[in-house]
Amino acid sequence: MIRIFWPGLRRCVLIGKKVLCGLLLLLASGCAYSVHQVYVSDNIPFAALENGEVVKGQGEQFVIFSFTFDSDYVEKARQDLISNCPKGRLTSITTQHSTSLGFFSWTNKVLIQGLCVSNTKT
Amino acid sequence: MRNFILILAAAAMSTLGMGCVSVESISLTSIPARRDAPVRTEKSKIIFLGFNFNNDFVDELVGDLKNQCKDGIVSGILTKDEVVNYFLMIVYSRRVTATGYCQRTGQKT
Amino acid sequence: MIFSRPNLFTFFRTAFLKAILLLGLCGCAILHKVQLSDIDNRSQFVQVPFDVKVSETGVDVKDIERLGRASGSQAGNDIGNVAALVALFQMGPRSGAPVFSEKYAEKIIYQIHQQCPSGNYSGVTSIRETRKYPVISGEIVKVTGFCLREKKGASL
């Protein structure tokens, strides 16, 4: 019985292996990231979460073959954060620096989140 | 001729790679509501072949910011630590930049 | 009979390999970054420690490639080749193994305020570390600090 079905079975296993390898390639070559650091600042002067609004600022830099000549995306993230809280103070700031990995290229990202507290609330 | 082309290619690659910047770490402290007086300082050190015997250049940052904001509070400090690669990591520079906002005493945050 | 020379050698060799395997399964802890915030150590406050830990599973395709090739079989070689191909799509600066979601640490600010509702905290230590195992790893972000509560009857 096995002898009859063996060539067919073998073919199925070979096709199955290729399909599995293809699926693995598809899955694993999907977006991969590396988080380098997450820094939480203090909360001075302190404010509860309900007294403010959580705002965020982001900056990105696309890099090919590691040729980068500046790191302005960091200042851009800070400006973005400040523009989302033009009249209040920002406290409880979380700074995340990560990289989105790719094919001979990657994107450096900075995400800054903070609690925007307007001057009328403490 | 072949050697000359190889040397030229290597020089071109190294020139292209000059000043490649990568960020090591970033930190940001609480930002005040008044942001009309920014202050900034930058200190760097060139390192050759990885021979670095101290990081004292970092200690000058706080003094520099204090000089720019006398009798005040410096807050909202963004500290950026970078590596600037000049030549294949044989010659590179460690650069730390700190920018913040100065509030003179008597001003509301 | 266990004390004859070949048996003794086999026994110690097996025990040594098992010990190495056990150590490997325990995982290696790698510290990437540590940062501290301001510390308010005034005696008028009671310091209640809090701890927030988030993590994501990282997959190191280079480990898969090495293990595949080390197996010596055709299937292992195929897997090693696929892993090498996948590694080409994961180039860039990295801390630990790559993860498939970068959003796992975005809710930390909410978790801190959940543990310290007044928002009065200080002495925050932010740690980015990796707990490494064969092929997979735990990419961990840990934030510890102290929630400050005023002592009853304390004067400012």
Sketch the domain layout of chain B as residue ranges.
Answer: 19-104
> Count of CB contacts below 8 A, A vs B?
76
Specify the pLDDT at position A122: 42
In this structure, what DSSP letter does residue B51 have?
A: B
In a domain, A11, yes or no: yes
The amino acid at A54: V
Domain boundaries, chain C: 27-58+97-150, 61-95
Closest among B46, B79, B45, B17 to A68, alpha carbons compared: B17
In this structure, what DSSP letter does residue B31 have?
A: B
- In whole angstroms, what is the distance from residue C16 CA to residue A24 CA? 35
Closest among C63, C2, C76, C3 to C28, alpha carbons compared: C63
CB contact under 8 A, A46 and C92: no
The amino acid at C8: L
Q: pLDDT for B10-63, tens place per residue?
A: 655 655 555 689 999 999 999 999 999 999 999 999 998 888 888 888 888 988
> What is the ipTM for the molecules in this complex?
0.76
Mutate to test the interface with A, among C54, C59, C63, C113 (most CBs of A within 10 A): C113
Provide the sign of the torsion angle of the four alpha carbons B26, B62, B82, C61, taken in this order: negative
User: Contact at 8 Å (CB) between B100 and B30?
Assistant: no
In a domain, A87, yes or no: yes
- Window C:61-100, CB contacts with A under 8 Å: 61, 75, 78-79, 82-83, 85-86, 88-96, 98-100
pLDDT along chain A (122 residues), means of 10: 59 63 60 93 84 94 89 95 93 94 93 88 46
Q: pLDDT for C112-122, tens place per residue?
A: 999 999 889 98
**C108 φ, ψ (degrees, to nearest 5):** -60, -40
Q: Are residues A3 and A44 in the same domain?
A: no
Specify the pLDDT at position C155: 44
- Identify all chain C residues contacting B27, using CB atoms and an 8 Å cutoff: 35
Specify the pLDDT at position A31: 81
Specify the pLDDT at position B54: 85
CB contact under 8 A, B27 and C35: yes
- In whole angstroms, what is the distance from residue C95 CA to residue C145 CA? 24
Q: Are residues A5 and A51 in the same domain?
A: no
Q: What's the CA angle centered on A107, arms A101 and A112, to 5 degrees?
A: 115
Partner residue facing B21 (CB), from A43, A71, A91? A71
Specify the pLDDT at position C23: 60
Q: Are residues A24 and A69 in the same domain?
A: no
Specify the pLDDT at position C139: 95
Low-confidence ranges of chain C (pLDDT < 70): 1-6, 20-27, 153-156
User: Contact at 8 Å (CB) between A77 and A91?
Assistant: no
Query: How many other CB atoms sit within 10 Å of the CB of residue C101?
Result: 13
In a domain, A83, yes or no: yes
Specify the pLDDT at position B109: 45
Of all residues in chain A, the percent with pLDDT exceeding 70 is: 72
DSSP secondary structure string for all residues of C5-61: HHHHHHHHHHHHHHHHHHHHHH-EEEEEEEEE------TTEEEEEEEEEEEEEEE-H
In this structure, what DSSP letter does residue A52 have?
A: S
Q: What's the CA angle centered on A51, arms A84 and A39, to 5 degrees?
A: 60
Q: How many domains are contained in chain A?
A: 2
Looking at the DSSP bridge assignments, the partners of residue A39 are A95
Q: Are residues A44 and A69 in the same domain?
A: yes
In a domain, A122, yes or no: no
Specify the pLDDT at position C37: 86
CB contact under 8 A, B27 and C93: no
